[in-house]
């Protein structure tokens, strides 16, 4: 009789350890930052936007207009079990250009340099009321004027 509780206890401990071990964090990588070797080939004040496009490629993000600065962004998120994903790494490479399309500056920013940007949702209210087909049909019947149907006015 004493062997059964020991086996049960060992089985419970094994299941608990298995459950804890299965909650290992999962990492997801997003974005692209050019390697340092490629960036070393860029010369500030000499190389142009076309050189950057040829050497390291065009970024996924650029300034407001098509002629804006280049931003390369890479981030890494960790998900642990059922918890919400958390960003553990972020790197932004900003390449700014002068008016003559030569490189003005190359800067790197990390997660520690970031600031929280509050997002505001600005939505115009829609005047259309969500009503069903039958309700709209019945509303339109009441809006008919018989005098308009017979050319009266």
Q: Is residue 65 part of a domain?
A: yes
Q: Is residue 151 part of a domain?
A: no
Range 64-77 burial, b when 16+ CB lie within 10 A, else e: eeeeebbbbbebbb
pLDDT of residue 151: 66
Q: Is 21 left (phi over 0), alpha (psi -120 to 50) or beta?
A: alpha
pLDDT category, 115, cuts 50, 70, 90? low
Q: Is residue 1 part of a domain?
A: no
Q: Is residue 76 part of a domain?
A: yes
The total number of structural domains in the chain stands at: 1
Q: Is residue 53 part of a domain?
A: yes
Q: Is residue 14 part of a domain?
A: no
Q: Identify the CA nearest to 74 among candidates 63, 58, 87.
A: 87
Q: Is residue 137 part of a domain?
A: no
Q: Is residue 67 part of a domain?
A: yes
Domain that holds residue 50: 24-114
pLDDT of residue 119: 44
Of 22-26, 85-89, 132-136, 144-148, the range with the lowest mean pLDDT is 144-148
Q: How far apart are CA 95 and CA 113, in angstroms?
A: 17
Q: Average pLDDT for residues 129-134, to the nearest whole number?
A: 68
pLDDT one-digit tens code per residue, 44-87: 889 988 899 899 988 876 655 556 788 888 889 998 877 888 88
């Amino acid at each position: 009789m004493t062997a059964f509780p020991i086996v049960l206890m060992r089985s419970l401990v094994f299941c608990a350890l298995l459950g804890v071990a299965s909650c290992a964090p999962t990492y997801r990588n997003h974005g692209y930052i050019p390697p340092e070797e490629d960036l070393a080939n860029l010369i500030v004040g000499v190389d142009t936007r076309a050189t950057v496009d040829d050497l390291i490629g065009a970024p996924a993000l650029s300034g407001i207009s098509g002629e804006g600065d280049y931003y390369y962004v890479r981030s890494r998120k960790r998900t642990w079990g059922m918890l919400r994903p958390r960003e553990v790494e972020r790197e932004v490479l900003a390449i700014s250009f002068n008016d003559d399309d030569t490189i003005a500056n190359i800067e790197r920013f990390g997660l520690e340099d970031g600031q929280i940007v509050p997002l505001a949702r600005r939505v115009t209210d829609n005047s259309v009321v969500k009503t069903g087909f039958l309700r709209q049909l019945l509303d339109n019947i009441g809006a008919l004027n018989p005098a308009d149907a017979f050319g009266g006015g």
